[in-house]
Amino acid sequence: MNYCSACGEKVSLVVPEGDNRQRFVCGSCEMIHYENPKIVTGCIAEWQDKILLCKRAIEPRHGLWTLPAGFMENAETNLQGAARETAEEANAKVDNMKLFCVFSIAHINQVYTMYRGDLVEGLASPGSESLEVELVTEEEVPWQNIAFQVISETLKLYYQDKKKDNFVMHYGDIIKQSDDSYIVNYF
Amino acid sequence: MNYCSACGEKVSLVVPEGDNRQRFVCGSCEMIHYENPKIVTGCIAEWQDKILLCKRAIEPRHGLWTLPAGFMENAETNLQGAARETAEEANAKVDNMKLFCVFSIAHINQVYTMYRGDLVEGLASPGSESLEVELVTEEEVPWQNIAFQVISETLKLYYQDKKKDNFVMHYGDIIKQSDDSYIVNYF
């Protein structure tokens, strides 16, 4: 950030009075520009013993597999956002959506809210951000070609709960280690 | 938003190519400025049969009661943010924190993540954003003077689960009606 979005003058990084963090503050109109984490919201769409995966047509991780998910927009709920992303990426409709897991990923300033629901009529086809969509069983999940760690963790939790026939909500922190591996702490 | 934070030139509201929503786009460097919901993260701090409430020393809702909570910062987890807010607003430390509820509030572009944990040694005192802090039993909760609907809903869920001696995670959408009343849908 270089300029104030309100008045167009230069901003600088300072700790505002009464605050304890550096913020971008306008030298002219004194507006404080806060930067906060973003929410990614998405969905495990279930059909019989299968779930819906999408092959990414966009960067990052072009060509790898993911669950339909994307940045939550203003004026929508997490659930509405998850449904919208599933419609956009896989032309699919999902019923009976329940929040399944929340992951906090501090090193990229993101929080994921992932839902679980019924894929209506088992119907899906690639949206503009997907190369392919596929309904897969657990054995068919391409574990080595999943786009993001948070998606692998979501799928692992899903199959754990499915085996117990008891789905509950989960919360975890995904932490990137100095050697680029990840650890996940559940609370 | 009037100016591009990257280059300082004028922005205008347009639907970018491949998008379906209006965004602020810079007429000069073409940067797209996305605006997304913010996360508020906070805590029910428990001590014996009481919980910690704070009387707000800041607007909005100056003088009304709330749970310690505030905007999540970059580079922290939801849980760390809830602990930080509890420290800042009530000089209190909380152990064994568990995610208790997530509320989506589309009309103000906010998502709340509220935790539950043990108030260490029952110790708390007002931080700079609090006029008072108090440990209250269920009977002592000032229901008519709670600052925000989402805090009332969190407290209601808390006492419902406490009576059953079975705390589970909850997700709900808080929807403001045209007559300014609220409805809450749980999923």
Q: Is B67 helix (H, G, I), strand (E, B) or coil?
A: coil
Residue from A5, A31, A168, A170 to probe the interface with B (highest B Cβ count within 10 Å): A5
Measure the CA–CA gap between A141 and B48, rounded to whole angstroms.
Answer: 47
Question: For residue B115, is pLDDT > 90?
Answer: yes
Do A185 and A140 touch, CB atoms closer than 8 A? no
Lowest mean pLDDT among A90-99, B10-19, B68-77: B10-19
The answer to whether A31 and A12 are in contact (CB under 8 A) is no
Which token pair is A69? 């998910």
Nearest to B78 among A6, A11, A104 (CB): A104
A86 Cβ neighbours under 8 A, 6+ residues apart: A42, A43, A45, A52, A68, A92, A93, A94
Model pLDDT, residue A13: 95
Each residue of B155-183: pLDDT tens digit?
999 999 999 999 999 999 999 999 999 99
Distance from CA of A107 to the nearest CA of B (A): 6
* Mean residue pLDDT across chain A: 97
Averaged pLDDT score across all residues of chain B? 97
What confidence score (pLDDT) does residue B153 get?
Answer: 97
Token pair of A89, please?
A: 């990426």
Percent of chain B with pLDDT over 70: 100
pLDDT digits (tens, 9 = 90+) for B129-141: 999 999 999 999 9
State how far the alpha carbon of A120 is from the alpha carbons of A50, A131, B140, in Å: 13, 21, 47
Residue A173 has pLDDT above 90, yes or no: yes
| Chain A residue with minimum CA distance to B128 | A18
- Name the percent of chain A lying above pLDDT 70: 100
Tell me the C-alpha distance between B85 and B93, whole Å.
10
How many residues does the structure list for chain A?
Answer: 187
What pLDDT digit, counting tens, does each position of B40-66 carry? 999 999 999 999 999 999 999 999 999
DSSP string, B112-180: EEEEEEEEGGG-----TTEEEEEEE-GGG--GGGBS-HHHHHHHHHHHHHHHHT----EEEEEEE-TTS
Q: Residue B18 — very low, low, confident or very high, per pLDDT cuts 50/70/90?
A: confident
Name the residue of chain A whose CA is nearest to B105's CA. Answer: A77
Cα separation, A88 vs A129, whole angstroms? 8
Cβ atoms of A50 and A77 closer than 8 Å: no
CB of B175 within 8 A of CB of B107?
A: yes
Res B42: pLDDT: 98
- How far is B93 from B84, CA to CA, in rounded Å? 9
Strand-strand pairing, A94-105 and A170-176 = parallel
Span A94-117, pLDDT tens digits = 999 999 999 999 999 999 999 999
Q: Which residue of A has its CA nearest to B18?
A: A128
Q: How confident is the model at residue A149 (pLDDT cuts 50, 70, 90)?
A: very high
Inform me whether the pLDDT recorded for B38 exceeds 90.
Answer: yes
pLDDT in tens, A33-80: 999 999 999 999 999 999 999 999 999 999 999 999 999 999 999 999
Q: Tell me if A154 sits within 8 A of A101, measured CB to CB.
A: yes
Record the pTM.
0.95
For B3, the closest of A7, A35, A36 (CB atoms) is A7
